[in-house]
């Protein structure tokens, strides 16, 4: 039993933390958000330079061969600074699908470019009406001689406007919601027939709906075995969920730190409002919620790679996401309430943290979705 | 980062678990499992089984019978006892009076009292709270006046757990009512419960159980050698005990056992022709408690790990464990009652009790009883005050 980060993890965390403290302050972030792409090339190349983009990928391709635990502390720093660059979309989802399910040739073509910061990725999965059900895929891929032809409409594809390559889930057989028959394809974002409806999400990241009309890809674009992608999708979304849990810790830390500071400095009735017991107890409950969330993020990051039984992995990740989602909601709502009117304004970083925490609560499944999955796995 | 116990710790856990399985008497195990009342004899029987094994006072120094276990081993032992469902060790002698004597007592006091605490020869209770002094303990009024080689004690204590079983009571009393600060002028006295002038009156709780009492003192004579530490320094002693909190305050082991029982029980209860565990509204509550308990167990291990590394005594961490642990205990007892539905309404039989379902009838009283957990040992509001002050600096 040991809850410390090891030396390498600590070094990485320190360098990420130093970087975001120095170059990713609230004002710097505002400029990035307001820029055309809503993403900084400079920040991305710094991530590559510090090795952050290679942590979870194989050493022989230029990575570090690390697990979710190795990224946990970096994710906290990313969460605390409200980083908007598509780190999770690229490292946690798109490239992760290739690393875990791709052929040797696909890995060689993709992963070094990702690790060096030359390629960003996104995972086009969600569809209208699918909510968080990963098996509900209606987008189709049919074989036409030597090529696959993709047709479909993907929603809320995180990081899509910034991505060079998309991983698209599509049905090669069966009906929507069938467990079998889902396949994954590598698609150039610029490929003919791919069109995007880009937007800014509530938490100021870039995403898009992706429409696929007669998009042709070669046989070498198929990731893994035809029709058997669901297990891989679940594994990778669980992995990204574990990282997201760690990211949430950072955002909650900011919300709690900022709120505590406000309680100590804001005066009413001639005294700091932190002297009022009604507010003290609410602050304590926010801190307890964050501690409980931290415990579950540790569990998720430790088990998402280490747990060989997929059923147990899913159960634990869902348990973590329930606790994290509840804590995100609790901490974010209270942080605004305790900041009073100021917390409502765009000027305060805490309102942006609120927006991020609100989105994290829903991302990859809200508390209710994961409660259902947790209980269903219990019953068998 | 590694969330698992080491091989040595796992071996230790297995040793404890195996020993408990072999040595916890079946009738006591059953009484705990079925929420039955434990007699003084039940409590002492288990105490003596552990004493014989040398495990009754793990945290004491070795020369007085301690085991020499480290903080993690002590935690594992206590949680395993909770998980196995042993009777509780009554803490007033072993975990409260003894640490005070070890820190502040004279050699004569240690020699006189510690072996008898260890062997279960003296049953202790705690005289802190008074009718006017609950959370605000320093306002206590029970008076002790020095007259030659004795103190004469008058006043009243309340919420005195198991005073009706006790041979001795340790008390906070006011020896000097004229001090500028209320915390001064308080002393720590050991009082023989057989002393003339002591009256114990039961306070029956809403579940019908007799756990707590009022204790009245009318000119009770106490030899001065029963004073612990200096006269007027009782508050220092009381504060020392607060810093002597244990890391099993969250009662993870016992709650894991209750959770397993709840799942089994709820699965056997039928609602609309289906098990209660298929009822979405019930099941979501059950899942949330289970997740909260999983989180608390890891939080507890995180604190332990930190404690082991820094060597610091636990502080506000214990308050957090108390708040969450008691909320979970209450939620579990409430869900157990809810799972039983209408069958939880019978309370006690009036005519012999043939065919009376004692187990389901015990669930609602248990729910009633567990409301105490967020009130006792420093109410959860007081715990929040502690965290607010110690951790947050508010």
Cα of A331 to nearest chain B Cα, Å = 16
User: What is the pLDDT averaged over residues A148-158?
Assistant: 98
Residue A321 has pLDDT above 60, yes or no: yes
Contacts 24+ apart (CB under 8 A), A128-134: A128/A153, A128/A155, A130/A176, A131/A369, A132/A364, A132/A365, A132/A366, A132/A369, A133/A177, A134/A230, A134/A233, A134/A234, A134/A237
pLDDT in tens, A87-119: 999 999 999 999 999 999 999 999 999 999 999
At residue A380 the predicted structure's pLDDT band, cuts being 50, 70 and 90, is low
pLDDT in tens, B160-189: 999 999 999 999 999 999 999 999 999 999
Does the CB of B9 have a partner CB in chain A at under 8 Å?
yes
pLDDT in tens, B337-368: 999 999 999 999 998 888 999 999 999 999 99
Q: Which of residues 217-246 of A touch B (CB under 8 A)?
A: none
pLDDT at B238: 92
At residue A71 the predicted structure's pLDDT band, cuts being 50, 70 and 90, is very high
Go through B54-68 and write b for each residue having 16 or more CB atoms within 10 A of its CB, e for each that does not: ebbbbbbeeebbbbe
User: What is the pLDDT averaged over residues B20-36?
Assistant: 97
Read off φ and ψ for residue A226, nearest 5 degrees.
-60, 130
Does the CB of B184 have a partner CB in chain A at under 8 Å?
no
Enter the ipTM: 0.94
Report helix, strand or coil for B212.
strand
Does the CB of A376 have a partner CB in chain B at under 8 Å?
no
Tokens of A133: 């059900």
Contact A240, A87 (CB under 8 A): no
Does the CB of B7 have a partner CB in chain A at under 8 Å?
no
Does the CB of A10 have a partner CB in chain B at under 8 Å?
no
CA distance B240 to B237: 5
Tokens of A281: 């107890």
Across chain A, what does the average pLDDT equal? Answer: 96
pLDDT at A178: 96
CA atoms within 13 A on the CB side of B69: 23
Does the CB of B312 have a partner CB in chain A at under 8 Å?
no
Cα of B293 to nearest chain A Cα, Å = 9
CA distance A138 to B359: 52
From chain B, the residues in CB contact with A375 under 8 A are 283-284, 286-287
Say which of B78, B245, B317, B334 is annotated catalytic.
B245
At residue B313 the predicted structure's pLDDT band, cuts being 50, 70 and 90, is confident
Residue B315 has pLDDT above 90, yes or no: no
From chain A, the residues in CB contact with B393 under 8 A are 264
Q: Which of residues 363-382 of B touch A (CB under 8 A)?
A: 381
pLDDT at A244: 98
CA A80 to chain centre: 14
At residue A379 the predicted structure's pLDDT band, cuts being 50, 70 and 90, is low
For A265, name the nearest residue in chain B, comparing CA atoms only. B394
Contact A53, A115 (CB under 8 A): yes
The answer as to CATH 3.40.50.720 being correct for domain A7-119 is no
User: What is the pLDDT averaged over residues A149-159?
Assistant: 98
Percent of chain A with pLDDT over 70: 99
At residue B310 the predicted structure's pLDDT band, cuts being 50, 70 and 90, is confident
From chain A, the residues in CB contact with B71 under 8 A are none
DSSP letter string, A12-32: HHHHHHHHHHHH--HHHHHHH
CA distance B375 to B322: 11
The conformation of residue B233, written as its DSSP 8-state character, comes to B
pLDDT in tens, B98-147: 999 999 999 999 999 999 999 999 999 999 999 999 989 999 999 999 99
Helices (H) and strands (E) in chain B, counts: 14, 10
Backbone Cα Rg of chain A? 21
Q: Which of residues 314-343 of A touch B (CB under 8 A)?
A: 319, 322-323, 326
Across chain B, what does the average pLDDT equal? Answer: 95
Report helix, strand or coil for B61.
coil
Does the CB of A375 have a partner CB in chain B at under 8 Å?
yes
Query: Cα–Cα distances in Å, from A293 out to A248, A252, A288, A361?
Result: 9, 9, 8, 12
CB-closest option in A275, A302, A323 to B295 = A323
CB-closest option in A274, A287, A371 to B387 = A287
Does the CB of A310 have a partner CB in chain B at under 8 Å?
no
Contact A158, A123 (CB under 8 A): yes
Task: Decide if B291 and A296 are in contact by the 8 Å CB cutoff.
Answer: yes
User: What is the pLDDT averaged over residues A210-231?
Assistant: 98
CB-closest option in B291, B320, B394 to A323 = B291
Tokens of A186: 């590598």
What is chain A's percent helix, strand, coil content, to nearest 5? Answer: 60, 15, 25
The conformation of residue B278, written as its DSSP 8-state character, comes to G
pLDDT in tens, B265-276: 999 999 899 999
Pairing of strands B227-228, B186-192: antiparallel
CB-closest option in B2, B302, B394 to A283 = B394
Residue B316 has pLDDT above 90, yes or no: no
pLDDT in tens, B37-90: 999 999 999 999 999 999 999 999 999 999 999 999 999 999 999 999 999 999
Identify the structural domains of chain B with CATH numbers, from first to last. Answer: 7-89 (no CATH), 124-232 (2.40.110.10), 252-390 (1.20.140.10)
Does the CB of A3 have a partner CB in chain B at under 8 Å?
yes
From chain B, the residues in CB contact with A69 under 8 A are 1
Task: Decide if A298 and B72 are in contact by the 8 Å CB cutoff.
Answer: no
Residue B394 has pLDDT above 70, yes or no: yes
10 Å Cβ neighbour count for B371?
15
At residue A8 the predicted structure's pLDDT band, cuts being 50, 70 and 90, is confident
CA distance A112 to A89: 16
CB-closest option in B3, B287, B388 to A302 = B3
Task: Please state the domain extents for chain A.
Answer: 7-119, 122-223, 230-379
Pick the CATH number of A230-379 from 1.10.287.620, 3.90.800.10, 1.20.140.10, 2.40.10.10: 1.20.140.10
Tokens of B231: 């006269």
- B245 catalytic residue (yes or no): yes
Name the helix (H) or strand (E) containing A158: strand A147-158
CB-closest option in A274, A280, A301 to B384 = A280
Does the CB of B320 have a partner CB in chain A at under 8 Å?
yes
CATH class of the domain at A122-223 = mainly beta
- The CA-CA-CA angle for residues A249, A17, A63, to 5°, reads 95
Does the CB of A378 have a partner CB in chain B at under 8 Å?
yes
């Amino acid at each position: 039993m040991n809850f410390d980060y090891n030396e390498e993890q600590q070094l990485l965390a320190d360098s990420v933390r130093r970087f975001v403290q120095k170059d990713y302050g609230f004002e710097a972030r505002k400029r990035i958000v307001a820029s055309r792409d809503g993403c900084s090339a400079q920040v991305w190349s710094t991530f590559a330079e510090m090795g952050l983009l290679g942590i979870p990928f194989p050493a022989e391709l230029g990575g570090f061969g690390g697990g979710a635990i190795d990224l946990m502390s970096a994710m906290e720093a990313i969460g605390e600074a409200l980083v908007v660059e598509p780190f999770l979309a690229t490292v946690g989802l798109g490239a992760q699908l290739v690393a875990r399910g791709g052929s040797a040739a696909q890995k060689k073509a993709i992963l070094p470019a990702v690790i060096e910061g030359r390629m960003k990725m996104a995972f086009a999965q969600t569809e209208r009406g699918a909510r968080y059900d990963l098996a509900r895929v209606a987008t189709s891929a049919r074989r036409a001689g030597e090529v696959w032809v993709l047709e479909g409409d993907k929603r809320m594809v995180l990081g899509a406007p910034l991505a060079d390559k998309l991983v698209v889930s599509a049905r090669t057989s069966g009906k929507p919601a069938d467990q079998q028959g889902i396949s994954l394809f590598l698609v150039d974002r610029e490929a003919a027939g791919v069109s995007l409806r880009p937007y800014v999400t509530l938490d100021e990241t870039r995403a898009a709906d992706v429409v696929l009309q007669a998009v042709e890809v070669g046989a070498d674009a198929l990731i893994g075995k035809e029709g058997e992608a669901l297990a891989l999708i679940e594994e990778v979304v669980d992995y990204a969920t574990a990282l997201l849990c760690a990211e949430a810790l950072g955002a909650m830390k900011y919300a709690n730190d900022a709120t505590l500071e406000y309680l100590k400095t804001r005066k009413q009735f001639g005294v700091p409002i932190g002297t009022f017991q009604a507010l003290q107890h609410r602050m304590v409950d926010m801190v307890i919620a964050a501690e409980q969330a931290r415990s579950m993020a540790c569990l998720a990051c430790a088990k998402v790679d280490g747990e060989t039984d997929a059923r147990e992995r899913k159960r634990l990740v869902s348990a973590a996401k329930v606790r994290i989602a509840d804590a995100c909601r609790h901490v974010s709502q209270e942080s605004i309430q305790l900041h009073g009117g100021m917390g409502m304004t765009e000027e305060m970083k805490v309102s942006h943290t609120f927006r991020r925490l609100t989105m994290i609560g829903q991302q990859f499944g809200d508390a209710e979705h994961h409660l259902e999955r947790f209980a269903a796995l219990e019953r068998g | 980062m590694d969330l698992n116990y080491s091989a040595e710790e796992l071996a230790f856990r297995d040793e404890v678990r195996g020993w408990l399985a072999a040595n916890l008497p079946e009738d006591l195990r059953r009484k705990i499992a079925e929420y039955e009342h434990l007699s003084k004899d039940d409590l002492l029987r288990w105490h003596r089984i552990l004493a014989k094994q040398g495990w009754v006072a793990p945290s004491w120094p070795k020369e007085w019978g301690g085991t020499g276990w480290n903080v993690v081993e002590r935690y594992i032992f206590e949680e395993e006892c909770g998980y196995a469902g042993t009777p509780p060790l009554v803490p007033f002698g072993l975990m409260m009076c003894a640490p005070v004597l070890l820190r502040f007592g004279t050699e004569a006091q240690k020699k006189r009292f510690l072996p008898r605490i260890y062997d279960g020869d003296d049953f202790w209770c705690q005289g802190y709270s008074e009718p006017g002094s609950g959370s605000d303990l320093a306002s206590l009024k029970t008076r002790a006046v020095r007259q030659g080689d004795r103190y004469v004690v008058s006043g009243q204590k309340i919420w005195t757990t198991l005073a009706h079983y006790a041979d001795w009571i340790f008390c906070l009393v006011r020896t000097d009512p004229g001090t500028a600060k209320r915390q001064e002028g308080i002393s720590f006295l050991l009082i023989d419960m057989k002393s003339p002038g002591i009256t114990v009156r039961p306070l029956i709780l809403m579940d019908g159980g007799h756990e707590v009492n009022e204790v009245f003192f009318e000119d009770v004579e106490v030899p001065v050698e029963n004073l612990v530490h200096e006269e007027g320094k009782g508050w220092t002693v009381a504060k020392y005990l607060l810093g002597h909190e244990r890391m099993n305050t969250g009662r993870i082991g016992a709650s894991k056992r209750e959770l397993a029982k709840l799942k089994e029980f709820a699965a056997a209860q039928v609602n609309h022709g289906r098990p209660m565990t298929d009822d979405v509204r019930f099941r979501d509550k059950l899942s949330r408690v289970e997740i909260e308990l999983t989180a608390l167990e890891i939080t507890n291990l995180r604190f332990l790990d930190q404690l082991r590394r820094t060597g610091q005594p636990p502080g506000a961490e214990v308050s957090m464990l108390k708040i969450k642990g008691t909320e979970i205990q209450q939620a579990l007892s409430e869900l157990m009652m809810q799972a039983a539905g209408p069958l939880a309404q019978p309370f006690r039989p009036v005519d012999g009790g043939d065919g009376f379902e004692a187990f389901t009838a015990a669930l609602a009283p248990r729910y009633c009883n567990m409301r105490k957990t967020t009130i006792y040992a420093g109410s959860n509001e007081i715990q929040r005050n502690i965290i607010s002050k110690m951790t947050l600096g508010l």
